[in-house]
């Protein structure tokens, strides 16, 4: 099973399999997605969740404030539905 990820404002779309992170899927498909540490520390890959559901391998890297603000750490997050994300620096 795979899900469709849409990144705004670029309107960029790519598919992500259930067993790969959002970042892994983007890089596999040649998308220029910002990242550095791939450990949820640098925040380069953090997007704002507009629609959909993600989860993380425990323990979740999200603080309560991250959850309230709808942040998604794409290097660690797994899609559990189609997603609409926002990242101002991703270009189509």
Per-domain boundaries in the chain? 2-86
Is 3 exposed, middle or buried, given 0-12, 13-18 or 19+ CB atoms closer than 10 A? buried
Q: State the pLDDT confidence band at 61, using cuts at 50, 70 and 90.
A: confident
Superfamily of domain 2-86 in CATH is Beta-grasp domain (3.10.20.30)
CA distances from residue 5 to 41, 58, 59, 65, 82 in whole angstroms, order as listed: 22, 22, 24, 24, 6
Rounded distance between C-alpha atoms, residue 72 and residue 80, angstroms: 13
Q: State the pLDDT confidence band at 88, using cuts at 50, 70 and 90.
A: very high
Q: State the pLDDT confidence band at 68, using cuts at 50, 70 and 90.
A: very high
Mean pLDDT across the stretch 23-45?
94
- pTM (predicted TM-score): 0.94
* Contact in structure between 75 and 39 (CB atoms under 8 Å): yes
């Amino acid at each position: 099973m795979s899900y469709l990820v849409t990144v705004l404002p670029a309107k960029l779309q790519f598919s992500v399999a259930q067993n790969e992170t959002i970042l892994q899927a983007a890089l596999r498909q040649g998308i220029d997605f910002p990242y550095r540490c791939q450990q949820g520390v640098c925040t380069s890959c953090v997007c704002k969740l507009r629609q959909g559901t993600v989860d993380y391998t425990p323990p979740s890297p999200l603080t309560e404030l991250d959850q309230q603000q709808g942040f998604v750490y794409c290097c660690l997050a797994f899609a559990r539905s189609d997603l609409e994300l926002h990242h101002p620096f991703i270009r189509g």
